[in-house]
Structure 1
Amino acid sequence: MDHNYIDKHKISLNVTLGTALVDMYAKCGNITKALQVFREIPGRNSLIWTAMIHGLALHGHAKDAICYFLEMISIGLEPDEVTFIGVLSACCRAGFVDEGRQFFAQMR
């Protein structure tokens, strides 16, 4: 699977298109490609971070999902309820009860 149409027509990757691609690749199980696209996107916003966190959580990469969540916060992006669902899902799937409680306590 590849985004050949985008490359062929020289469409530049922006945050909106990048978020859609990250979400698509992650939902198809191609986490490697989702991460590649994620890293290529300049000016990543909270939506693309959330898509990546959800993709990682969905496919059992709980530690990575948590790391991305913490990095997102450390660069000053505000997680929303959807982001919290992603990180809590990662904790749930991996049995990280204490971490999940800490993230749950951070929700406003």
Structure 2
Amino acid sequence: MRIESTSVNGQYHVWMTDEELEELRRAAATFRDDLIILLGGYVGLRAFEIPQVKPKHVKRTLDGDHFRLRVPRGKDTANGTGSPRSLRPGAPPRNC
């Protein structure tokens, strides 16, 4: 597990290692649980974003080699209303 302190006393950012994520996946009781772990741990979705995702939000890129996942109301740090964001699994998230 990777832990980094923040500018707030006693507050930290924490990341699981790939090995820890795989161990958690092996302990998942159902396919649904495994999918939730994948979406959060590897794709980078936040807990409130995961229930928004539906199969229709997955699209193949024009080159046909990748897929994009569109989150209808992602985190919006500017005004708190939530804005769509597009993710390519395995790549850093970007707002769109």
TM-score, reference length from structure 1:
0.29
Bigger RCO of structures 1 and 2 (CA < 8 A, at least 6 apart): 1
Which has the larger strand fraction? 2
TM-score, reference length from structure 2:
0.31
